[in-house]
Chain A
């Protein structure tokens, strides 16, 4: 077990390096100069631009810049934001962490709960109208882009019915529309997966045994059926977290949510390299951590899997 943990730790460190290197190169190689963007419509001579580039260390070769980044990041210094002149990156990102954690975990819970209900129901009522309806929903959930869903929900629930606020995160009611939008796609994916594994489990012999020993149908479904059907879905959970984090970039922009996604989008538009990298490190770490926990949990829940 400890050897496995050690291997995973090493792999995590490598993955983090790879993620930052890719983010670093991608942001630097993308056309667009942060200094020019900063200056906007100002007839600034190239001398002044060069002077500012020097101040920001942008005149150095890319790999040297990356070296500085790694060296400083190792001691927890991610530099200062270009956009928020002089503000440390961690200070720029910090308020977004809690916001994203709150509403994204809520969305994840909603997605899992929704998928459980829909997936089990449609498996139990296989080929009924309910099953078809749920799978139709799942299919549209997968194919409908989230900005379209967001607009649709906004028009119906905020403007037409007047039930919910349009944007922001000021009150619990504000969470509903963005969480629904963000949860839809992962919920739909998971529901389809659950339905398939439920169908497989339903015909297993241990299910028949459970019924034969006189257990109630609910107990059979939940304790024996769902528990086993959940195992394959557990691996998907890590991927779902990734999807939720990626989806938040767009949904946070549409609903004006001040989370990491919004900060990330703005940083990309402004070519705020230090903030882009800070967010990359943070999100990669979060994703790797979740995948790691899921893997551990998997072995824990399924005794057939052993780490050696």
Chain B
């Protein structure tokens, strides 16, 4: 082959690559939505659904990253939990007041010792492969969650108190004794110690039921496509592009109003807003960083929907690093010295509510009419003087750690501490994985800004998980035996009214003790197109799309 023919060959190959790049779009090519059109399908109607209406009702919602898995027990993060919520169904679910109510379970009884839960299941719930859901399916699903080979995050955390769980994980038992199915519509869970949060856990989408036949034996894989029992069934998952679901006509609570639901992966927030404006997306979540743009745009600001979210953001005062934080007066002084309302309004542009305490408003155990510490520099100085640090004298130089999206917060906050308390605080901006790692190491950061989202809407997510002395997630290393005692009491109380009162007692003590600086109760912010009707979010995230409709 001579030189010229080789060059020609190279050119031809390049041309073929270019043509194939243009001509072979991965999904079927879709006509761009006509200008002004409100709803346009992004691809041709799926052949699996017969008798589609002329224009299918499709909702395209942004997710920030590809889901980990479509198996509920393998999800552990909020975003992909959205998909589980629509595809799958579990024993219970949350009502508007964040309380567990019947879902697949019609009713349930808890034994007086709090150790045995008996669920009476509906007999009309079908998996999306047509088979009826029976109690054995829950035994299978929950046992699978504990199987070390599956590496599910949910099992070891949620079912650790189930009788026989430890033996099963250790490999000394073939089944989990505490999961029982006496008959097709009765499912029992037996615990080794009372756990009032159990019902909450069973209302989370992570504990949804899956059919045995959809799973390759022993491997964490689906045979061909994921099957659940929820309102929407699986159509397609294009890695890093989107997850497409369609209405499940056999859903036990009735077929959803929309035909298709697409969760589109859009990692970049600016891109997401542009796509929303152009009509390529119908619902997008918005974070604080985009609020300036949204508020300044007359259309976007009208379409912004705000819902409270079960997340507390806070500043950890690490007692292990800075012994001065063991003094309650110092901790309180820090709270008085920081104008949190102003930080939220001016720096965070109102992306969260001021945290009055540790349990977000809306959670049933929150203390009604709880008053946040006011901004009071004089009182702060007074308390510091009492604690032996008048004008900040003798106080060690400390470091405030946060992630890059909170750079301006760090500047404003450290300026307040300097001018009100006379304390020098340096700022360290870290990558989130780095900050998280230091947080769990417990002895790495002096003050760190972080947030804690609930797995289920209950006070123990914050008052127990963040402040109980024996837990690794007690980032402040706060250690108070009296506090622990109150928590123990609340944790073991089975009566719900008494439990609420107990947690409120704990919250009042935490409020006074101020082991961390509560900063904000988070908001769930969404831009929702006006033709999307009935979209709402609970404190745990968007509600199921089963009642959402499109009205042009």
Contacts and interface: CB of A to CB of B under 8 A. Distances in A.
> Which secondary structure dominates where chain B touches chain A?
loop
A167 B18 contact: no
Contacts of A162: 35, 278
B267 A172 contact: no
Interface string A66-79: 00000000000000
Given A32-B437, A42-B153, A258 B241 contact: yes
A170 B265 contact: no
B32 A33 contact: no
A170 B29 contact: yes
B157 interface: yes
A167 B280 contact: yes
A41 to B, nearest CB: 5
A127 B175 CA distance: 83
Contacts of A30: 433-434
Contacts, number: 187
B240 A37 contact: no
Nearest to B66: A266
> Which secondary structure dominates where chain A touches chain B?
helix
B274 A159 contact: yes
B459 to A, nearest CB: 13
B274 A40 contact: no
B69 A167 contact: no
Interface stretch (A11-19, A100-108, A181-189, A283-291): A100-108
A16 to B, nearest CB: 25
Contacts of B160: 48
Contacts of B42: 170
A66 B364 CA distance: 50
B14 interface: yes
A242 B275 CA distance: 30
Interface in B63-100: 65-66, 68-69, 74, 76-78
B452 A99 contact: no
A158 B78 CA distance: 31
A167 B266 contact: yes
Contact of B266 (A41, A86, A165, A256): A256
Interface in A218-242: none
B11 to A, nearest CB: 10
B238 interface: yes
A86 B66 CA distance: 15
Given A105-B14, A106-B21, A159-B278, A254 B271 contact: yes
Nearest to B274: A166
A85 B238 contact: no
With most chain A CB atoms within 10 A of its CB, the pick from B35, B220, B451, B464 is B220
A39 B18 contact: no
A40 B266 contact: no
B51 interface: no
A87 B440 CA distance: 27
Contacts of B221: 86-87
Interface stretch (B354-362, B465-473, B541-549): B465-473
Contacts of B23: 172
A43 B30 contact: no
B157 A86 contact: no
Given A43-B471, A86-B221, A158 B278 contact: yes
Given A169-B25, A170-B30, 14 more contacts: A32-B434, A39-B76, A40-B78, A41-B451, A41-B454, A43-B466, A55-B148, A85-B220, A102-B20, A154-B274, A159-B278, A170-B25, A172-B22, A175-B22
Interface of A: 30-33, 36-46, 48-49, 51-52, 55-56, 83-87, 92, 95-96, 99, 101-103, 105-106, 109, 151, 154-155, 158-159, 162, 165-175, 253-256, 258, 262-263, 265-266, 269, 271, 300-301
26 contacts: A31-B438, A32-B434, A38-B76, A40-B76, A41-B452, A42-B455, A44-B157, A44-B472, A51-B169, A85-B74, A85-B152, A85-B220, A86-B151, A86-B219, A96-B239, A105-B14, A106-B21, A154-B274, A159-B274, A159-B277, A166-B274, A168-B241, A170-B27, A172-B22, A172-B25, A256-B241
